[in-house]
Amino acid sequence: MTTPRFDELIHAPTRLSIVSLLAASDWAEFRFIRDELELSDSALSKQLSALEAAGYVEIRKAFAGKRPRTSARLTRAGHRAFEQHVAALREIVARSSPQLADFGAGPSPGIG
Amino acid sequence: MSEAQHRDNQLAGSTAGALAEIARRQGAVIDAALVPPWYWWAVAAAMIVIGAVADYRHPVVLAIGITAAVAVIAVLTVMMIAGSYRGVRVRSSALLGGYGAGLIVGFVWLVVGLTLGCGFGLRAIGAPAPATIATAAGGVALVIGGPVLMGRLRRLMMARRAGDVPAGTAR
């Protein structure tokens, strides 16, 4: 059972999108996250640094041939914080408006 | 509607929006991790090459054809599993679980069984080019069944993504 805990750091829109991507991944390359979220390199670096400083994200730098390749993954603490945050969001929705409780929780992601 | 109720509804709406954003982003990772339709066509074509060179029975053609086809299948499959061409690897252990892994293994066995069964059956009745026909049948199963399997796995992974269903309970 996940204990709901609203996380201000994760809830910021861009960081919520980044953490959501990483929560479904073992790892994701920098370019994948950047292209999915349509962010600039510097904007993404800034957000990843904030998440890394909080211990939620681990950044790995490696080389594929001669090209540097940066990837990111959620740490165990990051996964836990994300699951608690999702639980907190669901709790807010269920408490405020029961008819919206299933919104965003179903199998179709075609909203938002 | 009172001001407090209006505020509560606004909060619920923005929170539901955040949940929808989470679902959308996780769906994007899952979609990126699914095997694209061209993979099934490429593997089916490579299988048919193996069948055709087996029927041709020329040692040099057999050696080159089988080596090339197996290399194509192996490279493409490793790429799909590693996620190296997409830049992301889905949390398959958490999202697929034993049921998802069973679906994949079952599909592979179905295609292999169909191909070998067809091949040996056709050979037994003396049909011409049994290996080519058998691998073509296996290829058709791949091209039709592959996307169906991917659709099933997508639904499974979306149901098991973070916070939706406790791990191990989703089917």
**What is the tens place of the pLDDT at every residue in A45-95?**
999 999 999 999 999 998 877 788 899 999 999 999 999 999 999 888 888
Q: Identify the closest residue of chain A to B23 by CA–CA distance.
A: A109
> Is B153's pLDDT higher than 60?
yes
The predicted structure's pLDDT at residue B149:
95
Share of chain B above pLDDT 90, in %: 63
Banded pLDDT at A96 (limits 50, 70, 90): confident
User: Which pLDDT belongs to residue B94?
Assistant: 83
Residue B83: predicted pLDDT = 67
Once rounded to an integer, what is the mean pLDDT over residues B156-162?
84
Least confident window among A49-58, A101-110, B131-140: A101-110
ipTM for the whole complex: 0.82
pLDDT value, residue A74: 96
Q: Does B168 touch chain A (CB under 8 A)?
A: no
Q: Band the pLDDT of B95: cuts 50, 70, 90.
A: confident
Q: Tell me A54's DSSP state.
A: T
* B161-to-A78, B9, B80, B81 alpha-carbon distances in Å: 15, 26, 20, 19
Q: Please report residues of B whose CB lies closer than 8 A to that of A82.
A: 162
Give the 3-state secondary structure of chain B: CCHHHHHHHHHHHHHHHHHHHHHHHHHHHHHHHCCCHHHHHHHHHHHHHHHHHHHHCCHHHHHHHHHHHHHHHHHHHHHHHHCCCCCEEECHHHHCHHHHHHHHHHHHHHHHHHHHHHHHHHHHCCCCCHHHHHHHHHHHHHHHHHHHHHHHHHHHHHHHCCCCCCCCCCC
Mean pLDDT over each residue of chain B, to the nearest integer: 87
Q: For the residues B4-33, what does the mean pLDDT come to?
A: 84
Quick one: pLDDT at residue B84?
A: 65
* 8 A C-beta contact, residue A19 and residue A51: yes
Give B43-94 pLDDT, tens digit per residue. 999 999 999 999 988 999 999 999 999 999 999 988 887 766 678 888 887 8
Helix (H, G, I), strand (E, B) or coil at A61: strand
A23 contacts on B by Cβ (under 8 Å): 22, 26, 91, 161-162
Nearest to B20 among A23, A90, A104 (CB): A104
CA distance A102 to A90: 8
Share of chain A above pLDDT 70, in %: 86
pLDDT (0 to 100) of residue B106: 96
**Which residues of chain B lie closer than 8 angstroms to A11, CB-CB?**
18
The pLDDT value given to residue A100? 52
Output the pLDDT for position A81. 95
pLDDT band at B13; cut points 50, 70, 90: confident
Closest C-alpha to B152, from B121, B119, B106, B109: B106
Selected for mutation to probe chain B from A85, A93, A102 (highest B CB count within 10 Å) is: A93
What average pLDDT score do residues B25-33 get?
90
Read off the pTM: 0.76
pLDDT of res. A49: 96
Specify the DSSP element, H or E, that contains A6: none
Between chains, do B23 and A13 touch, taking CB under 8 Å as contact?
no
Is residue A70 within 8 A of residue A30, CB to CB? The reply is yes
What pLDDT shows up at residue A108?
Answer: 36
The rounded distance, in Å, linking the Cα atoms of A104 and A42 is 30
